[in-house]
Structure 1
Amino acid sequence: MLLCRVSTVSQALARWGRRSQRGGGLFHRALSFSSGRCHGVGSGEGSTQPAAAASTGTLYRDTVLLPRTEFPMKLSGQKLLDREVQIQQECGFAELYSWQRERKAKKEFCLHDGPPYANGDPHVGHALNKILKDIRNRFEMLRGRQVHYIPGWDCHGLPIELKALGDLGSSGLSPLQIRQKAREFAEGAIARQKAAFQRWGVMADWDQCYYTFDGAYEAAQLKVFQEMHSKGFIYQDYKPVFWSPSSRTALAEAELEYNPEHVSRAIYATFPLVTLPPKISVSVLVWTTQPWTIPTNQAVCYMPNAQYSVVKRADNSELLLVATERTATLLTFLIFLLQGSQLEGGICKHPTVPDKQVPLLPANHVTMAKGTGLVHTAPAHGMEDYSVASQFKLSVECMVDEDGKFTELAGPELQNLSVMTEGTDKVISMLKESGALLMEERCVHSYPYDWRTKQPVVIRPSKQWFINTASLKDKAKESLQKVRILPESARSSLLAMLDRRTYWCISRQRSWGVPIPVFYHKETGDPLINKHTVSHIAKLFKEKGSDCWWELPIETLLPSEALQKVSGPVSDYVRGEDVLDIWFDSGASWAAVLEESDSRADAYVEGKDQIGGWFQSSLLTSVAVRNKAPYKSLVVHGFAVSEKGEKMSKSLGNVVDPDEVINGGKDPGVPAYGADVLRWWVAESNVFSEVQIGPTALNSARDSISKLRNTLKFLLGNLQGFDPRLQAVDPKQMHYIDQYMLHLLREYSIKVTDAYSEFDAGRAIRVLQAFITRDLSSFYFSIIKDRLYCDPEDSLGRRSCQTVLEEILDGVTRSMAPILPHLAEEVYLHAPGHDNFIFTLFKSGWIKSSSVWRRPGLEEAVEGACAIRDSFLSSIPGKNAAQYDLTIAIEPGLLFELMESLQEEPTSTSSQLAELMMAARVTLTSELPRDLHPDALLGHGTFLINLEGGVIREDSPYDIAVVPTSGVRCPRCRRYTSESADCLCPRCQTVVSQAH
C-alpha cells in the first residue's frame, strides 16, 4: 500500500526527480544531444534490436528534429579568453554605464564605492569586493533602476610615499619633489587596477572616476573640514597619540595592527612610600610591560573600592603594598589589610629620579586582571594615564623624540637611546642599581604595530589636530539604528569601535596628502584658521590642486579677510606642514562623490577591516556635518584566504593572483579560467565569512559553468528555427506541463530576484542550480524530448513546448547575467528573436514573468500526476517505464476530473497524461477491471487536493495496475507504441508521410 501525499511543488518534484532518469532513460540514451547529431538512432539498445531494425532506424534519422546550434558546448584556453574580450567589445561593456545613466528611470540605486588603495597591483581581495558590487549594480540596472556608481581610489598616505621613494628616502627632497614621485606611483597603481577591474567585467564609466588627489575632491574635503571646525569638532591639542618611530608620524587607531606575539620585558618595580610612620618601610609594587616609561612616571593609581594588603617578601623583610586579589601570584606573607580609599594622600619616591615624589591617586581604569592592582602612571605615554593627568593637573612631559629615542630631558644616561631596545635595557639597569627591581619576566601579549612598516609603535604626546569623537558618538549610534547592516552581527563591532574611540588624531607629519589649511604665528605658534582661510584654500585647491600649498607665496594663500580679527601682517605667519589623515580623506568621499549634499547612498560594500576604517570615518564626518549617516545599508564581507583558510602571503607561497586566474599561469598546470569563473567564485562564496580561493574552488566554479552551458546549449538547440514573435503559443492553449513550467519559472524568478535584492548572490546560484537540476534536467527535459524531437515541426504541442523553452532560456539567461555577464551576452547573441542586434541583454531588462501563468487547478493536475507516477515507478524499480502499460483507477471526484483534463479518452498512447507518465499506454478509469493480467503489479496511494487557499480540500485515493506493454518499439521514436516490428507508430507514420 502506497501513501502519496503531495502538498507542495517541491515535494512532488523531489520525488519525481529521483526516479525520472529511470522513467526516461531509454529515450535519453537513444537520442543524446551532442554536436547536433543523433547518436544511437537505428543502432538499437545493446543486442536487443535486430539488424533489420537498425537498418530501418537509419531511414528515419533525418525526420527526427534533433537540437542544432552553433553555441559551443565548451570554451577553454585562449578561445575562452578571446571570446570574453570579444563579448565585451561587441556588447558595449564600456558604454553600458553611460547608457543607463542617460535613460529615464523612476528610481536610482546608489552604491558608493569605497576607494581601494593606490599602492599596488590588483589582488583577489579587490576581485571579491569589486565583483560583489558589480553583481548588485548589474541586477539593479537590469530591473530598470538608474545605477549611480563612481569608482574611486585612495591616493594619499604614507605607504604610497614610502614605496614611491624606495631606497632614496626623503632626505634632500622637497615636499613638492616627494609629492611628484608619490603621484606618479599612485597613478601607475591606479592604471593597473583599473585595467583589471574592466577585464573582470565591472560596469562603470572608467573615464569618470574619483581620486582623492584631485583638486575638486580636495576642495570638497576641506569644506567638510571647515564645517566640522566651525562646529567645534576639530581642535588642536597636546596629548598622547600613537606614534610610529619607523614612519615618524602620528597614527590613528585604524592604522594600527595588533601583533598578538609581541614580546615585552615586563617588570615588577617598587616605589617606596614616604607618608607612613618613619619606623615602617613599605613600598608600592607596580607591574609594567613598558619599563622605558618609568622615568616619566608622575603617579601610581589604585582602585578606591578594592582591598589592598601589606605583605612581607618571603626572601627578605621588605614590606610591599599590593592588591589583596593579586597576592596569590607572589611569594609573600600577609601583614595587614586596608581599603584602597585609605591610600588617599599617599606619596611615593620615584625609583629612578632622585628627590622626585609622586602621589597615589584613585582611578577607574585600574583592574585586577593582571599585575599588582597598582598602576604606574606616565601621562605622556598612555591614553588612560593622560586622563588621570588631566583630572589631577599632572605634568605631561615628553622625553621621547619622533625617532622613538630619549631626549636630553631624560638625562645623559638615557639620551639618544631607542626606548624600545637599548633604552629599556638601561632603565631596567637603573632600577636594579636603585634596588627598585623586584622581578623581570618575559611577557607575550598583543601590541600595536604600524600597519605598513610592521614595526611597533609607541605612545607619546604631540601637538596634533583632533576630532572630538566623544561628542559625536551618541549621534553616530543613533544614526546607525536606521542603517541596515549585513550581516547584522557586524553592528556590535561597529558600536564597540565607536565606544573605544574618544578622539581621532587627523594630522600627519608627512608631505603626501591634503595639507591642513592652518597658519601659525611665527613667535607665539598660535594657529590661524577660520572660515575665510579654509574656504579660500579650498577654492585654490579646486583650481590648482593642493600642490599650490607649497608653490604659492603665503600672501596668495592667506586672504586679507582672515587677518581682520588678528593683529600683525601676513609676514608674521607661516603655513602649516601637517597633512590630513587619509581616513579623513576617504571618509569625506560622500561630500565629493554623492550627487546631492543631503543624499545617502543605498549601500556601502567593503571588507570587515573597514568597520574601524572607512565605514566609521564616513559615519563620523557625515554625522558631524549633516546629522545623518551617509549610507542606508552596510554590507560587510570577509577576506579572501587560501584554501587552507590561511591569510595570503608571499612567504607562504599561497597568494592567488586574479590575473593568473583569468589568463592562466606560467606553469602549464595553472589553467586560464576566464573572468566569469572568477565572478562565479565570488558569487558562490559565503562572502560574510572568510572566502577561500584555490584550485578546488576555481575548478568547481568552472565545472558549474560547464554544466550550465550544457543546459543552455540544449535550450538553444531546441529553439533552432523558432521565432517567438511569430510562433509563440498562448499559455491557455499549451499542454498542462508546459503551463506548469511557466508557473515554476515565475516562482523561480521571484526567488532569484529576492536573493539578489539581499546581496545574496550565493542564494541566487543555489536557486538557479536547483531549478536547472530538479525542474528542468530531471523533470521537464526528460518528458518533452519525445514531443520536441518526434512531433511535427509546426504542431501545436511542439510549438507549445518551444514557447516555454524560449521563456526558460530567457529567464535563466537574465537571472545569471549579473554573475556571468560574458556567458549571458553570448547566449543572448544565439537566442531566437534577437536578429536585429539593437539591444544587448543588459539593455533589455530583467526576467519577464506573468501572473497569467498561474492558473487554478494547474498545479494540482500536474502534481497529482506526479504522485501517481511516483507510485507507478515504485512498482517497477529499475525498469524502463516506456515498456509498460499503466491503468489508473480513481473514483469520480476532483482528482479524476484533474486527470481527465490531461487525458480525455479512456485509453491513450499520446495523451498529456501518457507523456507525463512516460509509459507506453495509459488507461484512465473509475475502477480497476476485474480481468487484470495475473502478473499485473498493483499499487495504491492518495493525493491531497488543496484549492482556493484551503477552502477546497480533498484526500483522493487512487489505484494503479502495471503490465508489460504489448506494443512494439517504433524504429523512429523508440516508444513502444507500434503494432508490429519495423513499423512506425501511428504518430510517426503521420509525421513521415506529411514530410514526404
Structure 2
Amino acid sequence: MELIDPRQSARPNPKLQQQWLRQVTDDLYDWQAKNRPIETTFTLHDGPPYANGNLHVGHAMNKILKDMIIRVKVQQGRRVTYRPGWDCHGLPIEMKALGSSNTKGLTPVQIRDTARRLASKTVKDQMKSFQSISVMADWEKRWTTMDREFEIRQLRVFQKLVRRGLVYRKHKPVYWSASSRTALAEAELEYRDDHVSTAAYIRFPIVSDWSSIPELSKFQGKLYAAIWTTTPWTLPANKAIAVHNDLAYSVIRVGSDGLLIATERIEAMKEMIPSFEIVVDSIRGSDLKGLQYRNKLRGQSAPPQPIIDADYVTSDSGTGLVHTAPGHGQDDYEVCAKHGIEAFAPIDDGGFFTKEAYPDDPEKLTSAPSILDGGSQSVLDLMGEDVLGTHKLRHKYPYDWRTKRPVVTRATAQWFADVGSIKDDALEALRDVRFVPEGGRVRLESFIKGRSEWCISRQRSWGVPIPALFDESGNSVMTAETIEHIISVMQERTSSAWFSDSPDDPAWIAPSLTGKYRRGTDTMDVWFDSGSSWTETEGPANVYLEGSDQHRGWFQSSLLTYVAAQKVDENRSGKIVAPFKTLITHGFTLDGHGKKMSKSLGNIIEPDQVMDGSLLGPAKVKGKAKGQGQKFDGLGPDAVRLWAASADFTSDVLIGQTILQPVHTALIKYRTIIKMLLGSLNQEARQAPLTKLDQIALVQLSDTMSQVMESYDNYEFHKAIGVINRWVASDLSAFYLEALKDRLYCGDGGGILEPIFIGFLRMLSPVTPLLVEEAWSHRPAWMAEDTSLENPARQLYGSQLVDPARLSLPQDALREDAAVISGVHNAVKATLEQARGDKVLGSSLQCSVNLVVENSRVASVLERYLDELETIFVVSSVEINQPVPHSPEWAYEQEVEVQDAKVKVHVLPPKEAKCSRCWRYVAPSEDTLCNRCEEVIGAAPAA
C-alpha cells in the first residue's frame, strides 16, 4: 500500500479520487454536524455567486477560502453551518437565456420561464464544479434567490421597510442603462477613465430686460449666456442656467453679439474664440439671477427659462454658467426643485428621443440615433449657429457593468428605499464587526456615509415583483396590509402569477381597498434579493466573505436591510447589530501578467485548467527539448486549493504558469515526505525511548502547529503555508529526517514519525484534504486497527500527539537548546559542502567533526547533546574542544556566530574504518562491523 509515485504526479489516484472526495466533503460535513456540540455552532453565510455561466478561478478562490475556514473550525471542535446559495434573478440571466437583450414579442411569463430554466441548470453545473474542488457544504439544503420560500421571506423584509415608511416612489433622476432598458443602482456601475465625449460650447439668447443691472445697462446688441456641456444630447431637457452668487462675470463681444461668461474663464475662452473684446466687467452672479433666456429646442411657444444660483457652480472649467437639466442630473434636480422647476427627460427606455425633445419638428430628433450612438450630434445640428465650438474630451464616466455600455442619468418614476434615516444605526452596528483586512472598515463606512437613498426598482421581468398597486389615476398604493394580502396570494399562486394573471385581477387587491387597481410591473433590484439572504441564518453569521467589490454591493445591501428590519421588529430589544460578526474581503484574480481576466483578452482561467495540468504546459524532461517530453499530469483539486491558500488574498491574486510551478513543486514535496513517513512508520516506535533529538523535533512540530493554527485563525492562510513549507524544508527534511535515517535503517527503528505524520496531516487538512485522505487511507494496518485514532480532519487540532509522560526534558529548555544545535548544524553542513565541492568527500559520514567553543553556555549545550551530535549532524564522530590535528590529510574549517558566541567548525578525515552495515566510519578495521551493528546482528534470531 503506497501512494502513487510522487515524481509522476501531484494528483491523487484518479480511480479512488471520487471516493476520497465524498469522504472529505459530504461525509465530513455530516459527521461534524452529528459529533460537534450544537452550542459551538459557527455559521459562514455564503455570498451567492451569480448563476449565469461557468466558474473561473476567482469563484474557486472564493469558495476555497470559505471551505478552509470551516475545516479549521471543525478542527477547533466547532459545529459548522455552511449552506451554499445562488443569486438567480436579474438582467444578465434574462439576456443570456433569451440570447440577446431584445425581449419584444415575449410575455413576462415566457421570459421568466426561460430564465428560470437557465438559472436552474447553471446552479447544478456550478455546484458540481465547487464539489470537484473539495468544497464541503450542506449541498442538500442549498438555497437560491428564486426559491419560492426565499422570495416570500424577501417580501417580508420589504414589508418591514414599508411599515417603517422607508420605501417611497418618486419621479427623479436615476442611473439608467439604455442598453439594458432599466434603472441601475450605484453598485451596478463600473467607471472607465477612457470615455470620450463630444463637449460643446453653446449660447442661449437672453430675452428679458437687463437694464436694471447697472453694469449691463449700457450694453447694446444681442446678449447670450454661454454654457459648456459634455452631454449635448441633454440640451432638449435644459430648464435653467445656473450661476454662483459670488462669482464675477463679464461680457465679451464676438462680432456684434455679447457673450456672458465668468471673468476667470476669459483666458480659457481664447482657445475656442480667438478674437473678442471685453465690453462689460465684474458683474456679480447674484445680479444675474432672474434674467431669462430662451432654449429654442423647447419650441417657439415655450416660456422663457430662468438663470438661477447654485453652490456647485465654479470657475474651474467651462464658462462659469452651467447648463441645468433637472431630468438628467442629481445636482440639477435638487437645485431646480428649490425653484419649483420640474424634471424633464425626453428620451425613452432605449435612449431614443421622444417627440417632446423638439416639439416644433419632432421627427428631426425622433428619427435620430440613440443618445449612445450619435444623438448628441443630431442635437448640435439643430442648435446650428448657437454652437460656439466643440472638442473631444476623455474623462471618467459610468458604464453598465453588464453590457459595458455608457450609463446616463434619467428622470423616471422609481421606487426608493430611504437609507439616510438608518445610516447612523448601520454605522453603529459596524463598530462591533471585525474586518479582514482592517481597511475594509473605512471602505464600507464611506459607502454608507455617502448614500441617502437606494433605487430598488428595475424595469425587467425576471425578478421578485415590487408589490405595488396603482389606481385608475395612476397613483400608487403600497402598505403593510396590501403587501400582506399580496404575499398570501403569492404563496398560493407563486410570484410568476403576478405577471401571468390579468392586470386587474381582483384576487390581488386587499379587501380594504375600493375601486379598480392594476398591479405594477417593476421588479426588485437583485441587490435587495441577495441583501435579504440573511433570512437564511439564525442571527448574525460568524463570517461573510466576498470580493472587495461587495463593499458597495452585497455587504452594504445586507447591512442596510438587516438594520432596517431590526428597527421595525416590535418585540426587539437591545442594540442594533450587523448581520455579520466578521467581514472578510479578498482581491481580484488576475492573470500571470497582472491583467484583469476578460473574454476579449482570452485570459480567463477556469479551475479545470489548473486541475488537469493544461495551464502548466509541457514539462521539462532531462535530455529532451521543452515540449518533447512528458506533459504535466493533472494537479488535481489540491493544486487549486494550495494556490488559493498560498496567496495573500487581501490584495489582488495572480495565477499563471510561473505562479503554479511552485505549487506543483510543493505538492510533490508534501507527497514525497508523506510517502517516506508511511514507509517508515513502525509500531514499536510507540514504546521506544525518546532521544533528545526526538524531543527537539517534537517541540519544532508543536511550535509549527501553533503558528499554523494562529495564522489559520487570523485568516492568514498564506502565512500558514509559509510556516509549513519552512518546517518541511528545514526542521523536518534537512534536520530530523536526515538525522533519523541511520536509526530507522540500522538502529532500533524508533523516533516520532507517527506524531509527525498525524501532525503534518492536521496542518494540511484544511488546504489539501484529498492528499490527507489519500495518505490516511494508506496508513499501516496497526494504525487502522487503532480505534482511538480518528481521521486527522476530524481530530481536535490541539490534542496531544505524544504522551507527556514520555518527555524527559522541559520544552522551554529544548527550544533554547534547539536554537544552538540548529545554528551549529547549519555551520557543519556549510563546511561539508566546501569539502564536497573539492570532491574530498561524498557522504557526510566520511568525516569527523571537531567543534571549538569558547562560550561556556553554548559549550554546555553542545556537551549535553554530545552523545547524539554525530546522529544530528550525520557524521561519523563529533568532538568538542579537543586538540585539532596539526597536519591532517585534509581539513576544512568555518567560524560562525551562534547565540552571540563564536563557534569554529573543523571538518576532518574520519578516525576509524567504514562499517560495512551502517556505513559509518566507526569500525575498528575495513570489512568489519561497528560495535552497535555487531550487537544487532548477534541479537537477531537465526534463520
TM category (shorter chain) comes to 0.7 to 0.9
Find out whether 1:529 has 2:469 as its counterpart: no
Find out whether 1:214 has 2:151 as its counterpart: no
Name the counterpart of 1:498.
448
Find out whether 1:901 has 2:846 as its counterpart: no
Q: Residues 44 and 542 of structure 2 are in contact (CA less than 8 Å); yes or no, is this contact kept in structure 1?
A: yes
After TM superposition, the structure 1 = structure 2 runs for residues 682-693 of structure 1, keeping only pairs within 5 Å, are: 682-693=644-655
For the structure 1 residues 484 and 960, does the alpha-carbon distance in structure 2 shift closer, same or farther, using more than 3 Å as the test? closer
Gaps of 5+ in 2: 212-216, 271-275, 567-575, 619-630, 836-840
**SS of alignment partner, residue 124 of structure 2:** helix
Match for residue 582 of structure 1 among 515, 519, 526 = 526
Name the counterpart of 2:600.
651
Name the counterpart of 1:31.
none
| More displaced stretch, 777-786 vs 979-988 | 777-786
Aligned counterparts of 1:403 and 1:888: Cα–Cα separation in 2: 86
Q: Residues 55 and 126 of structure 2 are in contact (CA less than 8 Å); yes or no, is this contact kept in structure 1?
A: yes
Offset at 1:659? 2.5
Offset at 1:86? 3.1
Q: Residues 860 and 898 of structure 1 are in contact (CA less than 8 Å); yes or no, is this contact kept in structure 2?
A: no
Offset at 1:230? 1.2
Aligned counterparts of 1:874 and 1:690: Cα–Cα separation in 2: 39
Offset at 1:699? 3.0
Q: Residues 24 and 770 of structure 2 are in contact (CA less than 8 Å); yes or no, is this contact kept in structure 1?
A: no
Q: Residues 308 and 321 of structure 1 are in contact (CA less than 8 Å); yes or no, is this contact kept in structure 2?
A: yes
For the structure 1 residues 648 and 430, does the alpha-carbon distance in structure 2 shift closer, same or farther, using more than 3 Å as the test? same
Aligned counterparts of 2:185 and 2:195: Cα–Cα separation in 1: 20
Find out whether 1:965 has 2:905 as its counterpart: no
Cα offsets for 1:898-952 (capped at 9, x unmatched): 444324xxxxxxx21332343322345xx645997788878877765xxxxxxxx
Name the counterpart of 1:321.
260
Q: Residues 749 and 811 of structure 1 are in contact (CA less than 8 Å); yes or no, is this contact kept in structure 2?
A: yes
Name the counterpart of 1:810.
758
Match for residue 546 of structure 1 among 495, 500, 515 = 495
Name the counterpart of 2:334.
387
Q: Residues 640 and 690 of structure 1 are in contact (CA less than 8 Å); yes or no, is this contact kept in structure 2?
A: yes
Match for residue 825 of structure 1 among 767, 773, 780 = 773
Scaled by the length of structure 2, the TM-score of the pair is: 0.87
Offset at 1:728? 4.2
| More displaced stretch, 267-276 vs 539-548 | 539-548
Offset at 1:545? 3.1
Find out whether 1:775 has 2:775 as its counterpart: no
**SS of alignment partner, residue 394 of structure 2:** strand
For the structure 1 residues 246 and 783, does the alpha-carbon distance in structure 2 shift closer, same or farther, using more than 3 Å as the test? same
Name the counterpart of 1:765.
721
Q: Residues 168 and 417 of structure 2 are in contact (CA less than 8 Å); yes or no, is this contact kept in structure 1?
A: yes
Name the counterpart of 1:864.
820
Name the counterpart of 2:321.
374
Aligned counterparts of 1:689 and 1:962: Cα–Cα separation in 2: 48
For the structure 1 residues 536 and 142, does the alpha-carbon distance in structure 2 shift closer, same or farther, using more than 3 Å as the test? farther
The amino acid of 1:175's aligned partner reads P
The amino acid of 2:162's aligned partner reads H
After TM superposition, the structure 1 = structure 2 runs for residues 700-849 of structure 1, keeping only pairs within 5 Å, are: 700-719=662-681, 721-722=682-683, 727-729=686-688, 733-792=689-748, 798-799=749-750, 801=751, 804-832=752-780, 834-836=783-785, 839-849=790-800
For the structure 1 residues 83 and 323, does the alpha-carbon distance in structure 2 shift closer, same or farther, using more than 3 Å as the test? farther
Offset at 1:155? 0.8
Q: Residues 268 and 287 of structure 1 are in contact (CA less than 8 Å); yes or no, is this contact kept in structure 2?
A: yes
After TM superposition, the structure 1 = structure 2 runs for residues 223-622 of structure 1, keeping only pairs within 5 Å, are: 223-273=156-206, 274-277=208-211, 279-280=218-219, 281-313=222-254, 316-331=255-270, 333-335=277-279, 336-353=281-298, 354=300, 356-410=303-357, 411=359, 412=362, 413-417=364-368, 418-421=370-373, 423-432=375-384, 435-521=385-471, 523-542=472-491, 544-550=493-499, 554-560=505-511, 563=512, 566=513, 568-569=514-515, 572-591=516-535, 593-595=536-538, 599-622=539-562
**SS of alignment partner, residue 882 of structure 1:** coil
Aligned counterparts of 1:821 and 1:961: Cα–Cα separation in 2: 46
Cα offsets for 1:208-243 (capped at 9, x unmatched): 101111111111111110111111211111111122
For the structure 1 residues 930 and 677, does the alpha-carbon distance in structure 2 shift closer, same or farther, using more than 3 Å as the test? closer
Aligned counterparts of 1:262 and 1:982: Cα–Cα separation in 2: 85
The amino acid of 2:813's aligned partner reads G
Find out whether 1:697 has 2:659 as its counterpart: yes
Offset at 1:645? 1.9
Question: How many equivalent residue pairs?
Answer: 879
For the structure 1 residues 784 and 292, does the alpha-carbon distance in structure 2 shift closer, same or farther, using more than 3 Å as the test? same
Offset at 1:73? 2.6
Aligned counterparts of 2:40 and 2:12: Cα–Cα separation in 1: 39
Gaps of 5+ in 1: 1-67, 793-797, 904-910, 945-954
Q: Residues 545 and 584 of structure 2 are in contact (CA less than 8 Å); yes or no, is this contact kept in structure 1?
A: yes
| More displaced stretch, 578-587 vs 781-790 | 781-790
| More displaced stretch, 510-519 vs 474-483 | 474-483
Name the counterpart of 1:7.
none
Cα offsets for 1:291-326 (capped at 9, x unmatched): 12112211111233334343344xx35433323343
Aligned counterparts of 1:931 and 1:263: Cα–Cα separation in 2: 84
Q: Residues 661 and 671 of structure 1 are in contact (CA less than 8 Å); yes or no, is this contact kept in structure 2?
A: no
For the structure 1 residues 623 and 671, does the alpha-carbon distance in structure 2 shift closer, same or farther, using more than 3 Å as the test? same
For the structure 1 residues 163 and 918, does the alpha-carbon distance in structure 2 shift closer, same or farther, using more than 3 Å as the test? closer
Aligned counterparts of 2:679 and 2:3: Cα–Cα separation in 1: 8
Offset at 1:202? 0.6
Cα offsets for 1:362-405 (capped at 9, x unmatched): 22322444322221100011111111122221122232222322
Cα offsets for 1:703-738 (capped at 9, x unmatched): 22011111111222211x4267xx245xxx521121
Bigger RCO (CA 8 Å, 6+ sep): 1
Cα offsets for 1:965-992 (capped at 9, x unmatched): 3301112111111111111111111112
Match for residue 624 of structure 1 among 564, 586, 594 = 564
Aligned counterparts of 1:168 and 1:327: Cα–Cα separation in 2: 47
**SS of alignment partner, residue 402 of structure 1:** coil
For the structure 1 residues 600 and 723, does the alpha-carbon distance in structure 2 shift closer, same or farther, using more than 3 Å as the test? farther
Aligned counterparts of 2:632 and 2:926: Cα–Cα separation in 1: 55
For the structure 1 residues 987 and 883, does the alpha-carbon distance in structure 2 shift closer, same or farther, using more than 3 Å as the test? same
The amino acid of 2:927's aligned partner reads D
Name the counterpart of 2:572.
none
Aligned counterparts of 1:479 and 1:305: Cα–Cα separation in 2: 42
For the structure 1 residues 870 and 605, does the alpha-carbon distance in structure 2 shift closer, same or farther, using more than 3 Å as the test? closer
Aligned counterparts of 2:884 and 2:26: Cα–Cα separation in 1: 73
Name the counterpart of 1:48.
none
The amino acid of 1:973's aligned partner reads C
Q: Equivalent pairs: percent with the same residue? A: 38
**SS of alignment partner, residue 414 of structure 1:** helix
